[in-house]
Amino acid sequence: MRERRPAAAAALLAAVVLAGSGATTAVWSDAATIPGTPMRSGLLDVRVDGQDAVADYAPLDLPRLVPGQTAATVLTVGNQGNVALEWTASTSGTNAGNGLLGALRLLVTDAASTDGTTCGGTALPGSATTAGGTLLGTARTLGAGASEQVCLQVGLPAGASSALAASTTGLTIAVQGTAGSWSDTAEVGGVDLAAVPLTPPTLTCTGVLGVNLTMTWAEVPGAKEYRVFDALGTLIDTVPAGGLLQATVGALLGVTVKTVFGSEWVSAGAGC
């Protein structure tokens, strides 16, 4: 929030000049109190969800992020000042060097609701699809006291590199409001994103190895399926996540099970 109150003499002079010239101004940035003549300053105050700063914003958290996964939320950008403003937005991350921030894919639309996963509606003009820079470059106008809702979607593309596994980043969304030479910023921070580690399943082996072996295992968070390989690395079975996690291998030796999180996101093999 930005407000300026200069000396009374300067304000009086500005008022006299304007009155004499017939000129008008859209943004008052100077004010003083003259007995019998109240004057108010221009107030620039951009908010997100009614606040100057939103910390630990959980709706976009993705603690076990896998390729193709997204989260979405609706943000309300408001003008709580008494002058019209234009607003743009940008994003930044706490761990930009590990690659996850740059790999994120963003979408900003005019949707006023979301299922928490995706944004419907139409992409806003000038909106970016990557993180770590400009999010909305085409300024949008809000009159005094006005607000608008936008939907923001964050996630990893389906083809993201497996080198990103186990990497993390924080995400901050900054909304910049301007009116003439004045500016104000509201931030949404504390968004935590962590790509899933490539964890192999923990096996329970029953029966006799090389005779009638059966492998079972518990669900690995984020897994899409499990692949069973023989000793030569040949795929012999695929077990979908969420079902009966079991492989009957009988007399085969050297069988391993790998967790699959995405097309290239596959764990090391676990065996008995």
**Between these two residues, 20 and 92, which has the higher pLDDT value?**
92
Confidence grade of residue 15 (pLDDT, cut at 50, 70, 90) = very low
Q: What is the mean pLDDT of the chain?
A: 87
Taking residues 137-158, report their average pLDDT: 97
Say if residue 32's pLDDT is above 50: no
Taking residues 196-203, report their average pLDDT: 97
Say if residue 16's pLDDT is above 70: no
Confidence grade of residue 40 (pLDDT, cut at 50, 70, 90) = low
Give tens-digit pLDDT for 149-199.
999 999 999 999 999 999 999 999 999 999 999 999 999 999 999 999 999
pTM beyond 0.85: the answer is: no
Neighbours of 43 (CB within 10 A): 22
Give tens-digit pLDDT for 82-112.
999 999 999 999 876 679 999 999 999 999 9
- In percent, the amount of the chain with pLDDT more than 90 equals 81
**Cα gap 200→182, rounded to integer Å:** 54
Taking residues 56-63, report their average pLDDT: 96
pLDDT at 94: 87
**Cα gap 147→18, rounded to integer Å:** 31
Burial of 94 (0-12, 13-18, 19+ CB in 10 A): middle
pLDDT at 42: 84
**Cα gap 109→94, rounded to integer Å:** 25
Say if residue 24's pLDDT is above 90: no
What type of residue sits at position 232? L
